[in-house]
Amino acid sequence: MIYFSTNKASVPVSIKHATLQGLAPDGGLYIPSEMPHFSEAEIKLLEGASFSNVAFAIAKKFIGGEIPPDHLSDIIDSCFDFETPLVRLDEKTFVEELFCGPTLAFKDYGARFLARLTGYFAEEDNKMITVLVATSGDTGSAVAFGFQGIANTRVVLLYPSGKVSRLQEQQLTTAGGNVHALEVKGDFDDCQRMVKQAFVDPELNAGLTLTSANSINISRLIPQSFYYAWASLYLKDQFGLSNPVFSVPSGNYGNLTAGVMAKMTGFPIGHFIAASNANDSVTRYLDDGRYDPHPTITTHSTAMDVGNPSNFARLRYFYGNDHIAMGREITGISVSDEETISTIRSVFDRFGYIMDPHTAVGFRALERSRAAGSYHDMPGIVLSTAHPAKFIDIIEDTLKKDVVIPERLLSLLEKEKEATLISSDYRDLASYLNSLDQ
């Protein structure tokens, strides 16, 4: 399998090089030269299969023989040793709980797979890989835990000061070992800008081998396609329902892009709802075809506070820069903070189910779409991206009840935060990275 840049100015590469480079030298994002495809017969054979078996079938097509099948199978089994529940709320509404991994967030799917691929390829080349990551919350903690102890790797996490929840900050600043946290005086877009600049800095790259664990890395997206594919098959096998509409809480749009990839490979997916908060640049693009990113707005769904999402470049490429073509498969809906809070409350009152703010954005977007007459007869799957305990202050204030915090999160609150404070000036980041080998 060959991968090339969305900017088309870099040499095509293998999955190994796409993984270890993260961002293409021309600043573009890697995508498959030809999207792998499952025939109807292959899809039929996967109906009723376990999550790991579905994941292995997809991974084989994207990896293209660069990792021996038995080793790839071991990687899959070690990555996804937790459940992926599909919870039914009513006759046609489901929540896919993607927060059952070690950091209680959906980013565990991508981060654990990427960490093991990076470790495998780094060991092959006997080189030290520096993994550079911008995070608005859950990516950082998932990467910190995913790469913890992986040989030949070290992780540098950039997160916006004061703009992640306390539990998220504790997760990404207490891993220690080969994981280093940088607290940036700025917002997520500043963090992302600095990371992108590092990847195209020739002087920095002459001394370091940099890669990314953000969703700009194609090997972060490939495993996120697994849970779309599996849910579409499980829905039919267990409930007799087909071609669901997925409502996807969207910030940097990597999660949605992974779903589009699953649909493009042939899995039975009907439609997508890109559920954003007040950071609605993609929603507005879908309305009128103009992409006009605004400065990032802080909301209750902090992990989605992205003004200029990087994965939008992949989405535009997949749909030929045609917002009408994109709109045939993706509906954009922006949800306010007030709606988010009222949804958390109403879902608990109706179903006794507790949603975190991001999941609530996805649920409200699905409801609004159905109320407008769209997809009312289609089964709907809302992706639940984080355990509600990670946003305990908002949840308890909204529901006026205590939320049980899992022990793995409680233990983190007792640890001492370890982070280096830097400005949003790229020179501060470059100086820190150059000091790592000194």
**Which pLDDT does position 438 carry in this prediction?**
63
**Which pLDDT does position 232 carry in this prediction?**
98
Which of 16, 92, 107, 263 is an active site residue?
107
Q: Indicate the DSSP class of residue 13.
A: B
Residue 106: name the closest of 71, 137, 72, 127 by CA. 137
Site of tokens 């919350």: 137
d(CA 91, CA 239): 10
List of E strands, 125-229: 129-134, 153-160, 179-185, 210-212
d(CA 267, CA 71): 25
In sequence order, what are the residues at sequence separation of 6 or more whose Cβ sits closer than 8 angstroms to the Cβ of residue 398?
Answer: 341, 344, 345
79-82 LR contacts (CB < 8 Å, sep 24+): 79/55, 79/109, 79/112, 79/113, 79/116, 79/223, 80/51, 80/52, 80/55, 80/109, 80/112, 80/226, 82/108
Reported pTM? 0.90
Annotation says 44 is catalytic? no
Which CATH architecture fits 3-68+107-218+416-435? 3-Layer(aba) Sandwich (3.40)
Which phi and psi (to 5°) does residue 320 adopt? Answer: 60, 35
d(CA 265, CA 263): 5
- Where exactly are the structural domains of the chain? 3-68+107-218+416-435, 83-106+219-399
In sequence order, what are the residues at sequence separation of 6 or more whose Cβ sits closer than 8 angstroms to the Cβ of residue 159?
Answer: 134, 135, 136, 137, 140, 169, 172, 181, 182, 183, 184, 191
**Which residue type does 408 have?**
R
pLDDT tens track, the chain, 438 positions: 899 999 999 999 999 999 998 889 898 999 999 999 999 999 999 999 999 999 999 999 999 899 999 999 999 999 999 999 999 999 999 999 999 998 899 999 999 999 999 999 998 988 899 999 888 777 788 888 899 889 899 999 999 999 887 878 888 899 889 999 999 999 988 998 999 899 889 999 999 988 888 788 999 999 999 999 999 999 999 999 999 999 999 999 999 999 999 999 999 999 999 999 999 999 999 999 999 999 889 899 988 988 999 899 999 999 999 999 999 999 999 999 999 999 999 999 999 999 999 999 999 999 999 999 888 889 999 999 999 998 888 999 999 998 888 888 888 878 899 999 999 999 999 999 999 876
Residue 172 · residue 157 · CB < 8 Å? yes
User: 373: exposed, middle or buried (C-beta count within 10 Å: 0-12, 13-18, 19+)?
Assistant: exposed
**Which pLDDT does position 19 carry in this prediction?**
93
CATH number of 83-106+219-399: 3.40.50.1100
Task: Examine domains 3-68+107-218+416-435 and 83-106+219-399 and report if their fold is the same.
Answer: yes
- Secondary structure of residue 291 in the 3-state scheme: coil
Helix boundaries (H) for 6-98 = 15-21, 40-46, 51-63, 69-79
**Which pLDDT does position 70 carry in this prediction?**
95
- Secondary structure of residue 145 in the 3-state scheme: helix
